[in-house]
Every structure is written in structure tokens, then in C-alpha cells.
Structure 1
Amino acid sequence: MPVRPILTYPDPGLSRICEPVSNFGENLASLAGDLVDTMRAAPGVGITAAHIGVFERLFVLELAPGKGVLTYVNPEILWASDDLIRHMEGSVSMPGATDEVERPRQIRLRYQDLEGTSHEEEARDFHAVCIQHEIDQLDGIFWLRRLSRLKRERLVKKWQKEK
């Protein structure tokens, strides 16, 4: 599978809301394969189709090498805990820039697999953070928007200087 070019912040595509996937089949599986290879080359632990300019609700995660790739199509969060966790986040679209973001510690979500079969699962801690981060991106919410204006401005300025 080819490694695809990744949109770089502040590309307007990173603020675009993705459309639900309606066609399941060979093209979707191929796109998911491209996402895996692109994510690994970046490197990152997650990537959405939006990161490569395909505005469909699809993302992949690989939380640890050798632990397998998780693929989520048309994901939606059904429930989120009131208990919060702070975790360092970043993006393949803004390499090298990270900051701490606060999110619910545990979530329940519904999604489809590459064949279109629906699933529900619960995730907690790092797994839950990653899912929420990628769903935000599918909703056109780049992770920087989860920071205060001051933190965001400082981080962007520092990142642009180092770039």
C-alpha cells in the first residue's frame, strides 16, 4: 500500500467535517491499508482519512507495535465518563508539536468494520483518548482547538519557528 501525503497544519481540510462511509468493499479496505502505511511512516499511533485529504469517516489506530491495527468506520461516541484524564497529544499533520489535553477517561462507542458490520465497545485511558482525538478530527476539530487560546498560540508559534 502506498504512503500518502499528509495535510499539514493549517490546511483548511483539517477543519472539514467528514462524510459517513456508505460504500464498503475493496476501495475502503485499500484506503485503510494506505492509512496504516502512512501512519507508520509518519510515525504516529492514529490517522484519519481526512489527514490524507479523503473526507470520509474512517480512522486507524495502532496503540503499540505488534499489537494489531484497529479500524473504525463511521464511529460515534455513545457515552463518556465524567472522570477525566490528561494526556499529551499531537498530530501527524503537525509533527513535533505536543501538549496536554483533558478528555473523558472512558467512552463507549459504536462503529462499523471494513465490511460494514456494526460493533460497540468500551475504551479507557490511552485507547479512549486516541479514539476521541481521531473522532474530533473526523468532525473537523483539529486537536489544537482543545487547548486554551494562549497555549495554542504559543505552540503554533514555536512549531512554525522549528519547522
Structure 2
Amino acid sequence: MLQSEAIAVVKQGPWMGRDGFVAETAVQFDRVQSSIARLERELEKSKKVIAEMAEEASRTRRFQTFEETLKHERDYKLTDLQRAVRDVKSRMEVIEGDRGVFSGLTYKSFEAIDKKLCELAKLQEQIETSERNGRRNLIMLGVASLVAVVAIVANFV
């Protein structure tokens, strides 16, 4: 309707019926225009809300992608660590040998093994010293025997 929402009616002349129709149509056009203006404002608000929602959805997708990347990295690191632990375990099994033998071992700690290796090293030094002394004594015996043979031969000649 018009601003006062009153229909302007011309009370005189032949245009009286048509003027009422024109006035009523103008009022309806004003209503339609105000509805269109209101719908345009709502459309703008809706566009803003949709843009914000699209931005939030994009942010959420990026965050999910980031979380998946972190999860895959963590899983890869765990798998790599498991592989490394299995490798170390298999190497230790090769070094340690059969575990069933452990209960019958004489030396069950590295300290005891180290002490025994020190004793064996000293024993090896003594053996090497004895071998040197034995060779020296053998050479001296050979030289003494040679001198004795030369002395006996010199006596008879």
C-alpha cells in the first residue's frame, strides 16, 4: 500500500473505478518491492553465512588432512621403530646364542667374564715367556753340546 496504506480513491469523474484499481495495484507493487528488498537483504545475509560456512568447511578439511598426515607420520615412525627393535633383537639372539644354554653357564655376567679374560691374558703371557725361555734353553743346550763335541774331537785329533 502507499505510505499511509490508504487507498486513494477519486470521487469525481469517469476515472473513478480505474483510479482505485491503479492505486490498489501501486500499493501491491510497493508491497512486492518491499518484499523483494527484504528478500535481497536476506539473500546477502545468506551469502555471507554460506561463505563463512564454506570457509569453515575448508578449514576443517585442512585440519583433517593435517591430522591424517600426523597420524601417518606417527604410524610410520612406530613401524620403523618396531622394525629397528626386531633387527636389534635378532642381532642380540645371534650374539647370545641359544638361551637354553644360559642356565648352565659358569660366567653369567660381563664382570665375571672380564675377570676370567684377564686371568687368561696373564696365563697367555706366562706361556709365551715359558716358550721364549724354552727356546733359549734349547739353543744354549745345542751350543753347549756343540762345544763339547768340538772339545772331544779336538782331544782325539
Q: TM-score, normalised by structure 2?
A: 0.17
Question: Which structure has greater helix proportion?
Answer: 2
Question: Which structure has greater strand proportion?
Answer: 1
Q: Which has the larger radius of gyration?
A: 2
Bigger relative contact order, structure 1 or 2 (CA pairs below 8 A, ≥6 apart): 1
